[in-house]
Amino acid sequence: MTGFDDLRHPDKSPSVIAMFIYLMIGPGLWGLHLTLVYSAHTLICALGGSSDLSATFVLIATFLVAGPLLAIIIMQRRFGRLLGLDDRLSGRTIYDAISRFTSVLSLAGILWAGAAAAIVTSCAQGR
């Protein structure tokens, strides 16, 4: 193609927001999980709720956030197409690898924080 043809038929590039969401969906859900877990845990304990209620909420929040993230990891290409990322995008494999890496690390963080609720006593005195 000539330079003029490149101007007439530019490559369709994804929006910056779509690419940001694609790359940062894992860390974003991890941040949401931590916010939910710590704010709800603190609120339940401050209002005199039982430790079982706090642990139950943390485990429910863990499953509600880890489930969609696991689905995104499994169907990553489909999630990218949903955001408008074309399979013919140059560097798509690199973007997929970055997104998969951050999502898997985030899933590990979510499961780690959720497992702490099952192991550590909630609403303990002196915390």
Please tell me the total number of residues recorded for the chain in this structure. 127
Q: What does the buried/exposed string (b/e) look like for 95-116 if buried means 16 or more CB atoms within 10 Å of the residue's CB?
A: bbeebeebbeebbebbbebbee
Looking at residue 33, what is its pLDDT?
95
Note whether residue 74 is domain-resident. Answer: yes
To the nearest whole number, what is the mean pLDDT of the chain? 84
39 pLDDT more than 70? yes
Note whether residue 125 is domain-resident. Answer: no
Task: Indicate the pTM of the whole model.
Answer: 0.80
Looking at residue 51, what is its pLDDT?
80
Looking at residue 81, what is its pLDDT?
85
Note whether residue 6 is domain-resident. Answer: no
34 is in which domain, residue-wise? 17-119
23-28 own/partner pairs: CB under 8 Å, 24+ apart: 23/95, 23/98, 23/99, 23/102, 24/102, 25/69, 25/72, 25/79, 25/99, 25/103, 26/69, 26/72, 26/73, 26/99, 26/102, 26/103, 26/104, 26/105, 26/106, 26/107, 27/102, 27/106
Note whether residue 113 is domain-resident. Answer: yes
Domain count, the chain: 1
Arithmetic mean of pLDDT, 76-95: 83
Looking at residue 8, what is its pLDDT?
59
Note whether residue 60 is domain-resident. Answer: yes
Looking at residue 105, what is its pLDDT?
97
